[in-house]
Amino acid sequence: MGQWDSPVTLGTLLALLAAGCATVFGMDEGEPLTTTGTSSGMGGAGGTTTTTNGGAGGTTDCVATECPGEDHDCHYRACVNGQCSFLFAAAGTACDDDGGFYCTGAGHCYECLTHDQCATNVCQNNSCVNASCDDQLQNSGESDVDCGGPCGPCPNGNHCALSSDCESGVCVNGTCVPCTDHQQCPTADDYCDLGASHVCLPKKPLGAVCVNHYECKLNKCVWQPIFGFTCMPL
């Protein structure tokens, strides 16, 4: 009989169309739209497809003062991308937490961050301390870093103001240099160790072991059968 197994009247078709329109236009937003159909043909099988039209979810605003934790000078509660978080004050920001004065930029409050923030001009481990000869700074009258002045003498190449600032005992144009002549030594009671260290040393007393005459206070180095070369009187 053709495509249809039984005759379909015009009334039946109109009823089917009316039912379909009622299903589409009567659907509430958010309810599933269900379309059920049966297909047939050469070897075809019927199927059902379901599409859900879901509503959008809402969001809740973040309020920093309602976030867990406490606010301090160097770190405080904040909302970041709508989530509770903590922010750090910039390094150097004034603070008074835990006896400190300056924020580190990482949430801590310390006494100092730089040397110039201390009356002693020495900041070590974020605390102000007194100057010393091992603070790795040039201060308190030192001619160079941790040497000269009130500290021990400086090696060659370091800055100096006086011959006493230098291990060699010779300061030339503000720099410690090795001695090359006895006349460069600070006093007449010193000699330049020309054979080895090129350092000015005090002349040796009588009876001291010597190699050269100029090492002795009386400028006389004599061989002694028992003692070897020693400083002797004239």
State the pLDDT at residue 108. 92
Q: Is the pTM of this model over 0.95?
A: no
Torsions phi, psi for 105 (to 5 deg): 95, -5
State the pLDDT at residue 9. 53
- Residues whose CB falls within 8 Å of the CB of residue 71, separated by 6 or more in sequence, listed in order: 77
Strand-pair category, 190-192 with 83-88: unpaired
Query: Judging by beta carbons within 10 Å of its beta carbon (0-12, 13-18, 19+), is residue 12 exposed, middle or buried?
Result: exposed
CB atoms within 10 A of CB 215: 21
CA distances from 98 to 7, 70, 95, 101 (A): 95, 15, 9, 9
| Chain centroid offset of residue 119 CA | 24
Contact (CB, 8 A) for 154 and 144: yes
d(CA 81, CA 101) in angstroms, rounded, equals: 31
- Residues whose CB falls within 8 Å of the CB of residue 18, separated by 6 or more in sequence, listed in order: none
State the pLDDT at residue 217. 92
State the pLDDT at residue 84. 92
Q: Which two tokens stand for residue 52?
A: 């859900």
Q: pLDDT in tens for each of the 234 residues of the chain?
A: 444 444 555 555 455 445 544 443 343 443 333 333 333 333 333 333 333 333 344 445 899 888 998 889 999 999 998 899 989 999 999 998 888 899 999 999 999 999 999 988 899 999 999 999 999 999 989 999 999 999 999 999 999 999 999 999 999 999 999 999 999 999 999 999 998 899 999 999 999 999 999 999 998 999 988 889 999 987
Q: What's the sign of the alpha-carbon dihedral 21, 26, 28, 29? A: positive
Contact (CB, 8 A) for 126 and 112: yes
Q: Which amino acid is it at 25?
A: F
State the pLDDT at residue 31. 39
| Chain centroid offset of residue 122 CA | 19
Q: What is the DSSP string of 5-46?
A: SS---HHHHHHHHHHHHHHHHTPPTTS-EEEEE---SSS---
Contact (CB, 8 A) for 64 and 84: yes
The length of the chain is 234
d(CA 234, CA 179) in angstroms, rounded, equals: 27
State the pLDDT at residue 56. 40
Cα angle: 127, vertex 132, 136; to 5 degrees: 80
State the pLDDT at residue 29. 41
